Structure 1
Amino acid sequence: MSCFKLPDSLCKDLGALTSRFWWGQKKEERKIPWVAWDKLCTPKTDGGMGFRDLRAFNLALLAKQGWRLLKNHNTLFYQVFKAKYFANSTFLEAQLGKRSSYA
């Protein structure tokens, strides 16, 4: 999740599975959702349950990797990605290649 952008549909499906588990839904039986999903996703310090919005969390982890590429030029991670994906430019100016990987 910290290396690949998950499809929005997968994040939505995983969130739906979590909510069904939390609210106790079985097959076609529907239970009453006593608390809104947004309330469950708020941090515990603010009175919520601390569930994560998977799409936002995925984007935050990817942003963290981007930050590492911008700031840590002496790491093996940076050197490999520089050689493979943006040899003639900076990370922010990199273009999508013809045969690039999902990384």
Structure 2
Amino acid sequence: MAWDRLCKPKSHGGLGVRSIKNFNLAMLAKQGWRNLNESNPLFSAIIKANYFPNTDFLNAQLGSNPSYILRSIMSAQEAVKRITRRKIGDGMTTNVWGVQWLTDDTNGCLTTSMPY
């Protein structure tokens, strides 16, 4: 039986086996989400300090020689970006003009000039 068919739910003719690849991606995305939202846990603090001290997980990029851990966590970055929303608040901690937070395929950034 093909693996795709095994992973289908039983109600759709499959055996209900979970896809290991999708499960792994979900767990890595969860770690990326934790890194964004929980700055106090030790693991998140170490990853941020070592790999992207000047930015957050959503804007981090792989360096020239990334570790296995970083490559693994960064593989879920796009999945986290698709489900993440920014809370602007007072605007002091969010760079509205420098972050691609719009769903426009051409640019994604604001094109108006900064007011200050």
Shorter-chain TM-score: what band?
Answer: 0.5 to 0.7
- Larger % of helix: which? 1
Q: 2:42 corresponds to which residue?
A: 76
Which consecutive segments of 4 or more residues in structure 1 shift more than 6 A? none
Structure 2 unmatched runs, 5+: 70-116
Matches within 5 A, 1:10-49: 33=1, 37-43=3-9, 48-49=14-15
Alignment CA distance shift 1:45-1:93 (3 Å): same
Q: How far has the Cα of 1:98 moved from its partner? A: 2.1
The match for 1:53 among 9, 19, 27 is: 19
Structure 1 residue runs without a partner (length 5+)? 1-32
Matched position secondary structure for 2:39:
coil
How much has 1:47 moved relative to structure 2?
6.7
Residue 77 of structure 1 deviates from its aligned partner by: 1.0
Task: Report SS of the residue matched to 2:68.
Answer: coil
Aligned to 2:109: none
Following superposition, the deviation at residue 46 of structure 1 comes to 6.5
User: What does residue 86 of structure 1 align with?
Assistant: 52
1:73 match: secondary structure: coil
- What TM-score does the superposition give when structure 1 sets the normalisation length? 0.54
Q: State the SS of the aligned residue for 1:92.
A: helix
Shift of 1:75: 0.5
- Tell me the SS of whatever aligns to 1:62: helix
Fraction of identical pairs, as percent: 57
Name the TM-score, length of structure 2 as normaliser.
Answer: 0.49
Q: How many residues align?
A: 69
Deviation at 1:42, TM superposition (A): 2.8
Relative contact order: is structure 1 or structure 2 higher (C-alpha 8 Å, sep ≥ 6)? 1
Compute the RMSD of aligned alpha carbons: 2.2
Q: Which amino acid aligns with 2:53?
A: A
